[in-house]
Amino acid sequence: MLACGYHQRLGDAHAEVVVLEQLGEAARGADLVVTLEPCSRYGRTPPCVDRIIAAGIKRVVVGVLDPNPRERGRGIALLQQAGIDVILGVEEEKCRQLNEPYFKYMATGRPFVTLKLATSLDGRIATRSGDSNWFSGPETNRFTHRLRRDCNALLVGARTAALDDPSLTVRHSQPRTRPLRVVLSRSLNLPLHLKLFEFQERLPTLVFTGKGSSASGIEALRTAGVSVAQVSESETGLDLHEVLERLGARGVARLLVDGGGRMAGAFLEASLVDRLFIAYSPVVVGQDGLPSFAMPGVERLVDARRGFLEWTRKSGNDVLASWRLGPEYWRGVP
């Protein structure tokens, strides 16, 4: 292998260009292996296909076609027209998995939803008084910020926003994008001094509320520079499907839900969770503690929602586990 590279953050050079810049003239006559079909149109960066052709690459090995209908197959065709040998479909399924949020977004127009929870050994996210500081250790906290780094938007409910007053920023690592901060609030009873509402020009916040919310509450937030969007609601809360559609329309392809048990239960009950990360801390809270998923129970185990375990790993004194819960939309891309 002569060189390797990856797309570090939105707006930066794609992996192909990173590699070609490392190689210089050594790229002429070489093979280039990529997970995703090279782009062929101008976007935030120039087309990678043009750079590949100009560099004199002899052969390109492509894992999977780009699911974007504007790109799909076009890059391959341009490479072949330029006399470059193309091999397609090598480790295709693994390459789809590497890019699964993008594949889901292209197939559905909705973001890939990751839900993160920090719980006790008995599945509680706080004591009965609401105390949850600090469940997880510093290693797990750094892992959480790596999750934030890789997302376009971070979402919490109004209760978490008011009680915990999170800033929902990325620390400990350089963000690939600047995630949009999102709050769901039916009542709009949100103090304007919350950290979520600071630095709106640099760190914007979007509040989703119901269509029947008070005009004065909406105006107060907008006067503070906060964006407000109204969606449908029911007796149980805001329409989460509509929330995801609206976020997708804003270009959000990766969403991290980092709220409390009510929010986790709502997303799980609506079957909107694609991946679940749970950080188990070595503490027992007891039966009066707040549950991880505040949602109606089932009578029979056969009716319970199930997933499958991807991996577990030690994180300081905690244990991290990754579970898959959602339908794999990206597999159905034609």
* Residues labelled as active-site residues: 16
Are 181 and 168 in contact by the 8 Å Cβ rule? The answer is yes
The conformation of residue 13, written as its DSSP 8-state character, comes to: P
For residue 189, the SS3 value is: coil
The whole-angstrom separation of Cα 62 and Cα 140 is: 35
Check residue 212 and report its DSSP letter.
T
Helix (H, G, I), strand (E, B) or coil at 180: strand
Cβ atoms of 219 and 83 within 8 Å: the answer is no
Tell me the two tokens of residue 284. Answer: 């027992």
Q: Which own/partner contact pairs does 169-174 have at CB distance under 8 Å and 24+ positions apart?
A: 169/203, 170/145, 171/145, 172/141, 172/142, 172/145, 172/146, 173/142, 173/145, 173/146, 173/149, 174/9, 174/149
Residue 270, Cβ density class (10 Å: 0-12 exposed, 13-18 middle, ≥19 buried): middle
Euclidean distance between the first and the last CA atom of the chain, given in angstroms as a whole number: 33
288: closest CA among 126, 74, 177? 126
Please report, as a single letter, which amino acid is at residue 188.
Answer: L
Distance CA 94, CA 101 (A): 13
**Strand pairing category for 227-231 and 233-234:** unpaired
Contact 296, 243 (CB under 8 A): no
- Residue 101's SS3 state is helix
Do residues 275 and 325 lie in contact, with contact meaning Cβ atoms separated by under 8 Å?
yes
